[in-house]
Structure 1
Amino acid sequence: MTPLATALARLDWQTIGLELDREGFIVLPGLFELEAPGLFGNLMNGFYPPLAQVSNQWNNILQLPYRYPPKLTDFHAQCRAVGQQQALPQLKCLRKNEYLALGQDAEGEYIFPFQLAGVLSAPGEDFTGGEFILIEQRPRMQSRPMVVPLQRGDLAVITTAHRPFQGSKGYYRVNMKHAISRVRSGERRSFLLSFHLDTGTTHDC
């Protein structure tokens, strides 16, 4: 068993699910090795099945009829059937004074509720600045910014676009967006893995 497979087998999915319900993201420290072959594919295949269960719970809470299939290959087949053919860009390379504007990777009929984010260079050594930021937008309330603390080897599970939130009158849907603040020095190499496919074309970093 690879170190990544061992780490995945030890994850407490009950705790992860509760934290995703509460905050919309979770950071898993020291989960992966940078030199691991097939890292991105292994992360996506390892995380999809349990995250699909959480996603279906969210859809049930929000009274949405769609249910995500248990296998990533089946989900991708559904994406391709409606014209979502391309994998979204995975690598993000930002140099001094560059940043990633606030946005979502949420175009198409089928959008998976979660993405996986990590940094491939060391904060404070290879680059400064470049904080990963989530913005939660609730109806009739001020937006809530959240800095996602990522070190090299950490993995964050983040909300792609929307998540259920329990208010005083029951559950409603809140909007989530992500950004990367301006890099002050060095080069920030990172990845953002999307389980759904895109309607456009892929651009390499």
Structure 2
Amino acid sequence: MKAAASHDLALTLEACDWANIGRSLDAHGNAVLPGLLTAEQCDALAALYCREEGYRTRIVMARHGFGRGEYKYFAYPLPPLLDQLRHALYPRLAPIANRWNLQLGIDVQYPGDLAAFLQRCHQAGQTRPTPLILQYGEGDYNCLHQDLYGEHVFPLQVVILLSEPGRDFSGGEFVMTEISAQGRRADVVALRQGDAVVFTVNQRPAPSSRPGRRGTRKVAMRHGVSRIRSGQRHTVGLIFHDAR
């Protein structure tokens, strides 16, 4: 059963247009992977939220000024599907992350597999797993933020929508903002159940916008979720660096 699921996931990722995903990340700081999970996989993951076991901590957003709603960080070992996703997505994204760092003049390059990168995190004291599951109800929202947990930060992360808009909830759009010398911009990313969005954790490179000037400028990115108008919304987040 696990082998079949792993094989299906590999085929799904192989079918993604990674060249176009890279172009979208370069241009907008995000890219959608449609239909990454099936409805059955989404429902099974969402059902994990009500369980007590398998988590290292639960966060109520309002207590920390993060918004409204709550989320739980998974403990190791991760649920098999999330562990497979994390390891399968990382090597697809590492070349983009390495190219971005070169463009930004950041003297950090990422290894080709997740195990080697996590070893780097753990040697620096970042040993706590960061994949999480989020639950929002009516009136809940997530403030714009960045998921930075220590010295070692992988510049891309993934969120997968587990609920179906229009059926399970209304509102609750995934929102990204960018801040640069050229101003501020907001981007609403439309997702359906099972869709994933890959997006910038902190900053991305962009061509200089000054007339006649070549070079690269830094664009700071943040993400959040707009207010849930009705129903309940579940998502999972895959962050590739671990936390202190």
TM-score if structure 1 supplies the norm length? 0.92
For 2:202, which of 149, 157, 161 is the aligned residue?
Answer: 161
Q: 1:43-192 alignment to 2 at 5 Å?
A: 43-139=85-181, 141-167=182-208, 168=210, 169=213, 170-192=215-237
Instruction: Report 1 or 2 for greater relative contact order, CA contacts < 8 Å, sequence distance ≥ 6.
Output: 1
For 1:203, the equivalent position in structure 2 comes to none
The answer for unaligned runs of 5 or more in structure 1 is: 200-205
What is the aligned length? 198
In structure 1, distance between residues paired with 2:80 and 2:127: 21
Contact 2:21 2:32 in 1 (8 A): no
In structure 2, distance between residues paired with 1:124 and 1:107: 34
Contact 1:4 1:33 in 2 (8 A): no
C-alpha deviations, 1:49-106, integer Å up to 9, x for none? 1211110011111121110011101101111111111112510101111111111101
C-alpha deviations, 1:132-168, integer Å up to 9, x for none? 10011112x3310000111001111111111001113
In structure 1, distance between residues paired with 2:131 and 2:242: 10
RMSD (Å) for aligned C-alpha atoms: 1.4
Contact 1:137 1:174 in 2 (8 A): yes
- Which of structure 1's runs of 4+ aligned residues deviate more than 2 A? 34-39
In structure 1, distance between residues paired with 2:36 and 2:113: 22
Bigger Cα displacement from structure 2, 51-60 vs 1-10: 1-10
Matched, 1:24 2:29: yes
Matched, 1:5 2:10: yes
In structure 1, distance between residues paired with 2:40 and 2:112: 28
In structure 1, distance between residues paired with 2:188 and 2:81: 25
